[in-house]
């Protein structure tokens, strides 16, 4: 998936913000690596009766402000380095939104498309069993990420509850089905949040969303929800890229119709009225808004100078390398960083966890209006900081989050 180490990218981003803030070197050293990582190798019985051993990880970056929080990814290219980086980004993301969490992340090295449903269930349960000793509602709370979904969260919650002697622990994972203690609004929260950030950025940049065009890489949970909410704001989606190919139509693509088409045909690539497009062309298209919503390291020194979008909204985690960041800054592109742009997911995960503790559940309107308020406030605060310190939005977001974290670390007596 990546030649550039996501951990090196995360550490470089931290180093730059630490320098600007003149951060205590002990705090800096503490934050360069996760506080705890676990590697597990666990057996899963396959449908044909054989047993396969899978490798998984869980990283807990920091818990100065609260328990670790972050998704679980099922992907053949998951590595310990990637999981560590993702856990670091989660710490800073929670800080940007003022959530009482540190960062966590998990992953299993597996291509889930090769598994049957029952194999997927046994793998999900076995992984949670293997890391059960270090997770829990007050310790570390996983959630969905790439290739994991509410059904998988329900199996994981059930398995953890068995591990705890049969008491149901809904708050051990978020992103669950509603019936198992999930929150209304969680499944589309990341995309909804992305579009709130795009809308706030567009206001500052003078982009009229009713006349704007957007290009999206990735049409999974986050990419498809972002496309749907952007279309509702009046934005014309002219290109969408998926793992098996992309589509382009200058007159616009209706995301709802595309979702229905994919549900029937299993792919977006043959969608009528569009022409094929590859990733290289996608990133360099003439458009107002570019949304990477797939994986890390997509915007690099190799393509950054050819990006024409005025606004780049990082829906994915870590899609831009530090070299590409610099190029985009020089070219005057406005970038909203992942730790702000895609924080809608963890924000509604936080609401879900709070509701699980209260055993009292909010309406969709309550969830969405609280999300709206938090995202608008976070954008305004980071934007103001970027203006005040004359730095990009990523640096401002890191500085804001890091200052908060440093205060918590100091007052706990860790530095
Ligand atoms: P997902 O598995 O639902 O979707 C990912 C999509 O990206 C898939 O449709 C896949 O086909 C596509 N893809 C993969 N490689 C690609 C490539 N090279 N080119 C084009 N498309 C490609 O995962 P998701 O939950 O939508 O996550 C996407 C990104 O958003 C990840 O970086 C994830 O960490 C981040 N994120 C997710 C959430 C969440 O709530 N799910 C929250 C915050 C951040």
In a domain, 349, yes or no: no
Is the model's pLDDT at 1 over the cut of 70?
Answer: no
Is the model's pLDDT at 344 over the cut of 70?
Answer: yes
DSSP string of 237-252, one letter each residue: EEEEEETTEEEE-TT-
What's the domain count of the chain? 2
Q: What is the pLDDT of residues 128-166, one digit of tens each?
A: 999 999 999 999 999 999 999 999 999 999 999 999 998
Q: What is the pLDDT of residues 262-296, one digit of tens each?
A: 999 999 999 999 999 999 999 999 999 999 999 89
In a domain, 27, yes or no: no
Residue 4 binned pLDDT confidence (cut-offs 50, 70, 90): confident
Rounded-to-integer distance, Cα 329 and Cα 233, Å: 27
In a domain, 5, yes or no: no
- 187's tokens: 């499944």
Strand partners, 132: none
pLDDT of residue 129: 97
In a domain, 381, yes or no: no
218 CB under 6 A from ligand 1?
Answer: yes
Residue 319 CA, closest ligand 1 atom number: 32
Q: Give the HSE-up count for residue 303: Cα atoms under 13 Å, Cβ half-sphere.
A: 17
Rounded-to-integer distance, Cα 204 and Cα 200, Å: 7
Whether 197 and 333 share a structural domain: yes
In a domain, 18, yes or no: no
Looking up residue 216, the CATH number of its domain turns out to be 3.40.50.720
Mutual orientation of helices 221-232 and 189-205 as an angle, nearest 10°? Answer: 50
Rounded-to-integer distance, Cα 182 and Cα 163, Å: 20
Helix (H, G, I), strand (E, B) or coil at 137: coil
Whether 141 and 48 share a structural domain: yes
For residue 80, the enclosing domain spans 35-180
Whether 173 and 295 share a structural domain: no
Tokens 């990582």 belong to which residue? Answer: 37
In a domain, 415, yes or no: no
Q: What is the pLDDT of residues 395-411, one digit of tens each?
A: 999 999 999 999 999 99
| Choice from 143, 294, 342 to test ligand 1 binding pocket (greatest atom count within 8 A of CB) | 294
Q: What is the pLDDT of residues 213-244, one digit of tens each?
A: 999 999 999 999 999 999 999 999 999 999 99
Looking up residue 83, the CATH number of its domain turns out to be 3.40.50.10860
Tokens 């997911």 belong to which residue? Answer: 345
- Give residue 278 CA to ligand 1 midpoint distance, Å: 17
Strands (E), 77-204: 102-109, 140-144
Nearest to 298 by CA among 262, 339, 338, 333: 338
Q: Under a CB-based contact definition with an 8 Å cutoff, are residues 217 and 294 in contact? A: yes
Region 36-53 average pLDDT: 98
Return all residues near 86 (Cβ < 8 A) that are at least 6 apart. Answer: 6, 59, 70, 71, 73, 103, 105, 107, 145, 317, 318
Number of residues in the chain:
415
Tally Cβ neighbours within 10 Å of residue 234: 11
Whether 175 and 132 share a structural domain: yes
Nearest CA to ligand 1 atom 19: 243
pLDDT of residue 156: 98
In a domain, 373, yes or no: no
DSSP string of 328-377, one letter each residue: HHHTT-EEE-HHHHTTHHHHHHHHHHHHHHHT----HHHHHHHHHHHHHH
Whether 167 and 199 share a structural domain: no
Nearest CA to ligand 1 atom 11: 243
Residue 317 CA, closest ligand 1 atom number: 32
Whether 130 and 197 share a structural domain: no
Q: Under a CB-based contact definition with an 8 Å cutoff, are residues 106 and 34 in contact? A: no
Q: Under a CB-based contact definition with an 8 Å cutoff, are residues 57 and 106 in contact? A: yes
Q: What is the pLDDT of residues 305-340, one digit of tens each?
A: 999 999 999 999 999 999 999 999 999 999 999 999
Mutual orientation of helices 80-96 and 6-21 as an angle, nearest 10°? Answer: 40
Average pLDDT of the residues of the chain: 96
**Of residues 250 and 2, more confidently modeled:** 250
Whether 257 and 309 share a structural domain: yes
316 CB under 6 A from ligand 1?
Answer: yes
- Give residue 412 CA to ligand 1 midpoint distance, Å: 36
pLDDT of residue 216: 98
Q: Residues 31, 32, 35, 38: is their CA dihedral positive or negative?
A: positive
Residue 346 CA, closest ligand 1 atom number: 42
Nearest CA to ligand 1 atom 4: 220
Which residues are the active-site residues?
105
Domain-ending residue, one of 316, 341, 366: 341
- Give the chain's largest Cα–Cα span: 62
Tally Cβ neighbours within 10 Å of residue 19: 10
Instruction: Express as a percent the part of the chain with pLDDT over 90.
Output: 98
Nearest to 173 by CA among 191, 190, 189, 159: 159
Strand partners, 236: 213
What is the strand order of the sheet 140-144 is part of?
36-45, 51-60, 102-109, 68-75, 140-144
Q: Under a CB-based contact definition with an 8 Å cutoff, are residues 89 and 10 in contact? A: yes
Cα Rg, the chain, nearest whole Å = 20
Whether 158 and 194 share a structural domain: no
pLDDT of residue 2: 44
Instruction: Express as a percent the part of the chain with pLDDT over 70.
Output: 99
């Amino acid at each position: 998936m990546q030649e550039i180490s996501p951990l090196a990218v995360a550490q470089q981003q931290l180093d730059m913000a630490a320098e600007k803030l003149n951060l205590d070197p002990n705090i800096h050293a503490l934050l360069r690596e996760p506080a705890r990582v676990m590697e597990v190798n666990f057996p899963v019985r396959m449908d044909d009766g054989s047993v396969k051993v899978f490798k998984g990880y869980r990283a807990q970056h920091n818990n100065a402000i609260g328990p670790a929080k972050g998704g679980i990814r099922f992907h053949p290219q998951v590595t310990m380095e990637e999981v560590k980086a993702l856990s670091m980004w989660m710490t800073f993301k929670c800080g940007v939104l003022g959530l009482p969490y540190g960062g966590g992340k998990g992953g299993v090295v597996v291509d889930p498309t090769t598994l049957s449903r029952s194999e997927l269930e046994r793998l999900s349960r076995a992984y949670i069993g293997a890391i059960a000793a270090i997770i829990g509602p007050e310790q570390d709370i996983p959630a969905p990420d790439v290739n994991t979904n509410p059904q998988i969260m329900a199996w994981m919650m059930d398995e953890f509850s068995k591990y705890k002697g049969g008491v149901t622990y809904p708050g051990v994972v978020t992103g669950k089905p509603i019936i198992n203690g999930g929150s209304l609004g969680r499944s589309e929260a990341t995309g909804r949040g992305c579009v709130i950030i795009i809308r706030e950025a567009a206001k500052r940049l003078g982009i009229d969303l009713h006349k704007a065009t957007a290009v999206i890489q990735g049409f999974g949970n986050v990419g498809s929800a972002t496309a749907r909410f952007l279309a509702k704001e009046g934005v014309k989606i002219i290109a969408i890229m998926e793992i098996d190919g992309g589509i382009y139509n200058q007159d616009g693509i209706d995301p709802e119709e595309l979702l229905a088409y994919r549900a029937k045909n299993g792919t977006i690539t043959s969608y009528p009225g569009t022409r094929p497009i590859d990733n290289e062309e996608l990133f360099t298209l003439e458009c107002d808004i570019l949304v990477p919503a797939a994986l890390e390291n997509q915007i690099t020194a190799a393509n950054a100078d050819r990006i024409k979008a005025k606004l780049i909204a990082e829906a994915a985690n870590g899609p831009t390398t530090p070299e590409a960041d610099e190029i985009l800054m020089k070219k005057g592109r406005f970038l909203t960083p992942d730790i702000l742009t895609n924080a809608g997911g963890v924000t509604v995960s936080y609401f879900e966890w709070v509701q699980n503790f209260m055993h009292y559940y909010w309406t969709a309107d309550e969830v969405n209006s609280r999300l709206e308020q938090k995202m608008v406030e976070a954008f305004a605060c980071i934007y103001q900081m970027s203006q005040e310190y004359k730095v990009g939005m990523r640096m401002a977001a890191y500085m804001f989050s890091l200052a908060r974290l440093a205060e918590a670390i100091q007052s706990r007596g860790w530095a």
